[in-house]
Amino acid sequence: MTPKQNNSFNKSNLIHPLAAPFFVLAEPLISALGANRLIVLYAHLYPDQDGNINQDLIKKNLQYLVQACNVLPVREAMDRLEKNQELPRRAVAILVDDATKAFGQVGRKLLKEVELPYTLAIIPGLIEDSGKENQIARLMRLAGHEYWLPNHEMLRKALDWFGSHIDEGAVSYESLFEKAWQLEEDRIEDLLIQVRAQNHHFMSWEELRQLQKEDQVDFASHTMSHPRLKLATGTWLDWEIGRSKELIQSNLGIEIDSLVAPYGNPENFTVDLQQALTKHKYKYAFSTEKGTIGPQTRRYQLPRLNLEDEYWRYKLHTCPAVCSYLYSSGIGLSNIQK
């Protein structure tokens, strides 16, 4: 059914591809009326499951950053905000999710061409040379991926594999996590076959260390298994948040203070997650909510915007003052008709 047309005028009527350049031109004026803020852009920079990636668009967007923005490392930008130091005009930082081998082959080259700093969010449990933890991470990824059944049905199927009666109240990913840890590695492989868990390909620790030598790169945690964190509790959640930080620090020799939350919508930022972040001394956690970052923005649910977005919208998303106005007014550009 075609929605009823609303002919009343509102601010969203202005956000149109043809109007976007005027908002960009207005950035200096709008910026002068308020405090400067930070834009964090997120990207995957590797082909989707069908092998598609719009390299021309990404190159165009990255070139625009070089020409029109001041790109800072995420850590430096957040440190400036913490210390109440002035940000440069149109300050932008880049977060890249997942660290897949495909990123190493495609996206990394795109970033190196423009020599921009970026932070790479790593899922250390899914790195193949992580031993038994890699098996556990592949299993617990059921909480984030519907491989062939809905998540809760795969959970039930995985727990049924153990062959003992499980009370309904005990059916949880935490109970699966605890049971799996009691198994030998060959038995975990049998369980992975039972639930048809896929084995995607992520960069090795050696490849990541090579990045450290050659790129302007920093790192963040992206959990151990990339689950939906609203499902994570207890010992499993502690492992996802704490162990991922430990592994990255020990393998790459750096301090990790940021979590990039998988499926970063608000429902995944639970009270349990906030407590785990505090326990493991994270300073920041990034969501997928849209917005800008200032001194008062909540540090455990920081907003991001899409680097791989359409060019006209992307130019708006690299204007902190414009985005602050638009999103504080409740306007979501991704929902506006082209």
Percent of the chain exceeding pLDDT 90 equals 71
Alpha helices by DSSP H, 27-166: 27-32, 55-68, 74-82, 101-102, 108-114, 132-140, 151-160
The pLDDT of 331-335, averaged and rounded, is 44
User: Do 89 and 36 touch, CB atoms closer than 8 A?
Assistant: yes
**pLDDT given for residue 165 in this prediction:** 64
Q: What is the pLDDT of residue 259?
A: 98
Select the highest-mean-pLDDT range: 124-138, 158-172, 236-250.
236-250
233 pLDDT more than 80? yes
Predicted local distance difference test score (pLDDT) of residue 164: 65
Nearest to 155 by CA among 163, 146, 264: 146
pLDDT, position 167: 67
- Judged against a pLDDT cut of 60, whether residue 336 lies above it is answered with no
The residues with which 41 forms a beta bridge, in sequence order, are: 94, 305
Least-confidence region, from 2-16, 30-44, 69-83, 117-131: 2-16
Segment 9-18 mean pLDDT:
50
Q: What is the pLDDT of residues 263-284, one digit of tens each?
A: 999 999 999 999 999 999 999 9
> 141: pLDDT confidence band, cut at 50, 70 and 90?
very high
How confident is the model at residue 129, as a pLDDT?
76
Q: Name the token pair of 147.
A: 């491989």
Name the token pair of 28: 């200096």
> For residue 309, what pLDDT is reported?
93
Higher pLDDT, 23 or 60: 60
Mean pLDDT of 286-312: 94
Please report the pLDDT score of residue 176 as a whole number: 95
* pLDDT score, position 8: 39
- By DSSP bridging, strand 118-122 and strand 39-43 are unpaired
Q: Where are the beta strands (DSSP E) in the chain?
A: 39-43, 70-71, 91-98, 118-122, 217-221, 258-260, 284-286, 305-306
Looking at every residue in the chain, the average pLDDT score rounds to 88
Residue 297, pLDDT above cutoff 80: yes
Closest C-alpha among 287, 307, 259, 292 to residue 38? 292
Judge residue 337's burial from the number of C-beta atoms within 10 Å of its C-beta, 0-12 exposed, 13-18 middle, 19 or more buried.
exposed
